[in-house]
Amino acid sequence: MTTVESAPAPSGPPPKQTSLSMKKALRSVRRSVDPVVGVWLAALAVTVLGWIVVTAQGGSFLTTANAVAILQNCVALGLVAVGQSAVILTGSLDLSVAYLISLGTLVAAETMASGGVVTAVIAVLALSVAVGLANGLIVTGLKVNAFIATLGMAFILRGWIEDNYTGPAGEVPVSFQRLGYDRIGPVPVSVFLLIAVAAVMWLITRRTRLGHHMYATGGDEHAARLSGVRTGRTVVIAHVLCSLCVGAAALFLAARLGAGAPWAGTEARYDLESIAAVVLGGTALAGGRGGVAGTLGGVFVLAVLDSVFNQLSVDPFFKNVVRGVVIIAAVAIYARPRRTPKAPKALKGGGSA
């Protein structure tokens, strides 16, 4: 995780486009620095607090085993959340990720059982591209709200899974299971997969024209379109990128589970959890602000929390209460300084209120 932590704080892409509205759309990007720092500070605070509480209870928190567990628990949610960041940045949303994960593990495990690992990886990524493309086209082409479009896609995938699979299926060869179980020193191999995917996504969003377009589209679709951004295409690509990340998560889970499971994605509520992690990481749900670095922080906070709960053997129902409070409180805390200066400015001259 140190690699990610030491990643340079994103300073926002240089405004190459000279168009006025483009500038306006990009202005918000610079503001996104604060939440990233905020969420990593929060992660640090949760870790320290957890360490104090667990130690006070007679446990030991900062052990290698525990650190490994925390990192390991980041991977699946991290991969999904990185993908989710891409769509949310663009002003869209993906609620179909949970079922895509389930289907992905099934396709991966079944293909690996009959064909080879490479074929399986290609098959899963192809499936992901197809689903992402469908999501994107429904959102942009049919003008269906992303919430409904991807929820509908979730139902479609669910029916497909339930009609074709009656339980865990397929088998993952031991060689591929190493992705889920091996580690280099204290760091699980899969964490490198997460770092690699996150790094690629960070490069795409921060260092490419496509990335600028994503921020611009999410910030103000209308203004972006006026300044020549093909917003429709950008949204479609964001959905494809998201689904590819989800495909990677499915491959990782297949490696870890050793088989495909129809409820691999749904029982863990990856749809809502990933959105929570993204927002926890300071990305605005409406798009245009935030980024991958913050999302990883959000995922890390949730993983540390889980570990603390584990150490303290907290009642699972009470755990949900605390998670709910933490998610709301964290967003409330760093939503505040970012917005407060905005309000008076926007209301200048509005004396009647």
Partner 1 sequence: MTLIRNLRGRALAAGAALLAAVLVTSCTSDAPAESPPAASGSGSTADAGTGKQSTFFEQAEYDRQLALAGETPEGPADKPWEQMLNPQMTDTSQYKMADPSGIELCFSNAGVFNPWRQVGLKNMRAEVKLHKEITKFTVLDAQGKDDKQISDIQELSARGCDALIVSPNTTATLTPAVKQACGKLPVIVFDRGVETDCAVTFVNPIGGYAYGAVAADFLVEKVKPKGKILALRISPGVDVLETRWSAAKVAFDKSELDVVDVKFTDGDPAKAKSIVTDALTRHGDIDGVWMDSGATAVAAVEAFEDAGKDVPPITGEDQQDFLQAWQDKDLTAIAPAYPTFQWRTPVIAALDILKGQKVPKEWKLPQPTITQENLADYLKPGMPPLHYAMCGCESMPGFPKDWGGK
Partner 2 sequence: MSAPTETPDTAKSAAGKAPTAATGTRIVRALGTGIPVYLLLAVLLLALLITDPGFYEPDSFLSFVKRAAPLVILAAGQYLVIVCGEFDLSVGAIVTAGVVVAAELYGSFPDAHWLVVTAILLVAGGLAGLISGLITTVLRVPSFITTLGMMLILEGAAFFWTGGSPQGVLPTAFRQLGRGTAFGWLPWAVVACLVAGTAAVLVMRSDFGRTLVATGDSDRAAALAGVRVIRVRTVAFILSGAAAALAAVLVGGFSGVSAQAGRGYEFEAITAVVLGGVVLGGGRGSVVAAMAGAFSLQALFTLLNLQGVSGALESTVQGVIVIAAVGLGAADWSRLRHRRTPPGSGPPDRTPPGTTHPTGTHNSGGTPS
Binding site for partner 1 (CB under 8 A): 65-66, 68-69, 72-73, 76, 141-143, 161-163, 165-168, 171, 177, 180-181, 253, 256-259, 261-264, 267-268, 306, 310, 313, 316-317, 319
65 binds, among partner 2, partner 1, none (CB under 5 to 8 A by kind): partner 1
Which sign does the torsion angle of CA 143, 144, 147, 152 carry?
Answer: negative
**3-class secondary structure for the chain?**
CHHHHCCCCCCCCCCCCCCHHHHHHHHHHHHCHHHHHHHHHHHHHHHHHHHHHHHHCCCCCCCHHHHHHHHHHHHHHHHHHHHHHHHHHCCCCCCCHHHHHHHHHHHHHHHHHHCCHHHHHHHHHHHHHHHHHHHHHHHHCCCCCHHHHHHHHHHHHHHHHHHHCCCCECCCCHHHHHHHHCEECCEEHHHHHHHHHHHHHHHHHHHCHHHHHHHHHHHCHHHHHHCCCCHHHHHHHHHHHHHHHHHHHHHHHHHHHCCECCCCCCCCCHHHHHHHHHHHCCCCCCCCCCCHHHHHHHHHHHHHHHHHHHHHCCCHHHHHHHHHHHHHHHHHHHHHHHHCCHHHHHCCCCCCC
Binding to partner 2 by residue 306, rule CB under 8 A? Answer: no
CA distance 304 to 30: 28
Whether 101 and 265 have beta carbons less than 8 Å apart is answered as: yes
Binding to partner 2 by residue 243, rule CB under 8 A? Answer: no
Whether 171 and 112 have beta carbons less than 8 Å apart is answered as: yes
Binding to partner 2 by residue 291, rule CB under 8 A? Answer: no
Binding mask 24-43 for partner 2 (x = CB under 8 A): xx-xx---------------
**From candidates 201, 235, 293, 303, binder to partner 2 by CB under 8 A:** 235
**From candidates 56, 65, 174, 353, binder to partner 2 by CB under 8 A:** 353
Binding mask 251-290 for partner 2 (x = CB under 8 A): ---------------------x--xx--x----xxxxx--
Chain positions 69 to 108 lying near partner 2, rule: CB under 8 A, are: 91-93
CB of 22 to partner 2, least distance (A): 12
209 binds, among partner 1, partner 2, none (CB under 5 to 8 A by kind): none
233 binds, among partner 2, partner 1, none (CB under 5 to 8 A by kind): none
353 binds, among partner 2, partner 1, none (CB under 5 to 8 A by kind): partner 2
332 binds, among partner 2, partner 1, none (CB under 5 to 8 A by kind): partner 2
Binding mask 123-142 for partner 2 (x = CB under 8 A): ---------------xxx-x
Whether 327 and 276 have beta carbons less than 8 Å apart is answered as: yes
CB of 42 to partner 2, least distance (A): 14
347 binds, among partner 1, partner 2, none (CB under 5 to 8 A by kind): partner 2
313 binds, among partner 1, partner 2, none (CB under 5 to 8 A by kind): partner 1
Q: Output 65 or 142, the one with its CB closest to partner 2.
A: 142
94 binds, among partner 2, partner 1, none (CB under 5 to 8 A by kind): none
339 dihedral zone (left: phi>0; alpha: psi -120 to 50; beta): alpha
Q: Output 80 or 123, the one with its CB closest to partner 1.
A: 80
**From candidates 23, 158, 183, 230, binder to partner 2 by CB under 8 A:** 158
Torsion angle of alpha carbons 262, 268, 271, 273, nearest 10°?
-170
* Residues that bind partner 2 in the complex, under the rule CB under 8 A: 24-25, 27-28, 91-93, 138-140, 142-149, 151-160, 162-163, 219-223, 231, 235, 272, 275-276, 279, 284-288, 315, 317-325, 327-328, 331-332, 335-336, 339, 343, 345-347, 350, 352-353
